[in-house]
Structure 1
Amino acid sequence: MSLDVPAAILERAEAGEVDDADFAEVVRTSLPYAWEVVSRVAAELESGSEEYADNLVAPPDEVARGQLLRAMASDAIRGGLERHFKVKLAFQNCHRVAAFPLSAVGGETYSRFIGTRAQLLNQSPELRNC
């Protein structure tokens, strides 16, 4: 299971739509490591002068790795994180999450980061089974 959904939120979801703030809180509490990584790269992007900010540190354990993979693999969770932090997320391997400004989507740097060449160049034996 990806998320621990409180009964009140589940009831609201059964009755209709849940707002982004409630969904973000469910993600934050259910996947704290993933939230921390995305929060950090979004803050680095906002405060820095680079075209994007990314995480190059592998998760400390399998629980953290699983949280990050679940967050990035779910369109709903990833989209919720993107809306909450107002960034476009890109993902390579088992830990490299990057935050881009929304205006970068379709641009050269973003396209290069998400391209097949970058994916191939970002491989290493220790990441084979991550």
Structure 2
Amino acid sequence: MSLTVPPDLLEKAQQGPVSDEEFIACIRDSLPFAWSVVAELAERLAAGEGPFADNQKEPPDERSRGQLLRLVGSDAMRGAVERHFNVRLAFQNCHRLALFDPAAGPAYDEFVSPRAQLLNQSPELVNC
């Protein structure tokens, strides 16, 4: 299961739309490791350390890795997180998540290119 949805939020979703704020709270509470990675990267990006901020540290365990994969694997979650932090997400492997300014252009295009994906591979990451 991707998210642990509180009964009241599930009931509200069954009746109609839910707000981004409610969805974000559910993501944050359900995927605390993934949320902490995104929040840290958003702070680094806002500090102006470069055209993007990326995570190159492997998750501490498989459960944490799963949280990160679930977050980036869901269009709805990705979109909500991008809107919340006003960023653009990019993902290369089991842990290399990057946040870009929405207008990043060439830096984003390079990060998500086939070339960058190939260069980011290593034998240690084959089964991540």
Q: Shorter-chain TM-score: which interval?
A: over 0.9
Aligned residue in 2 for 1:53? 53
1:83 equivalent in alignment to 2:95:
no
Tell me by how many angstroms 1:80 deviates: 1.1
2:111 to 113, 117, 122: 113
Aligned residue in 2 for 1:3? 3
Note the residue ranges of structure 1 that are not aligned, 5 or more in a row: none
Tell me by how many angstroms 1:48 deviates: 2.2
* Aligned counterparts of 1:49 and 1:69: Cα–Cα separation in 2: 25
Q: Which amino acid aligns with 1:75?
A: D
* Aligned counterparts of 1:43 and 1:49: Cα–Cα separation in 2: 10
Aligned residue in 2 for 1:125? 123
- More displaced, 120-129 or 40-49? 40-49
The count of corresponding residues between Structure 1 and Structure 2 is 128
Aligned residue in 1 for 2:24? 24
Q: Which amino acid aligns with 1:115?
A: S
* Aligned counterparts of 1:50 and 1:16: Cα–Cα separation in 2: 40
* Aligned counterparts of 1:103 and 1:123: Cα–Cα separation in 2: 27
Identity %: 57
* Aligned counterparts of 1:77 and 1:108: Cα–Cα separation in 2: 25
* Aligned counterparts of 1:63 and 1:46: Cα–Cα separation in 2: 28
* Aligned counterparts of 1:97 and 1:49: Cα–Cα separation in 2: 16
Note the residue ranges of structure 2 that are not aligned, 5 or more in a row: none
| RMSD, matched Cα | 0.6
| 1:87-107 Cα distance to aligned partner (Å, 9 max, x none) | 000001000000000111xx1
TM-score by length of 2: 0.98
Q: Structure 1 runs of 4+ off > 6 angstroms?
A: none
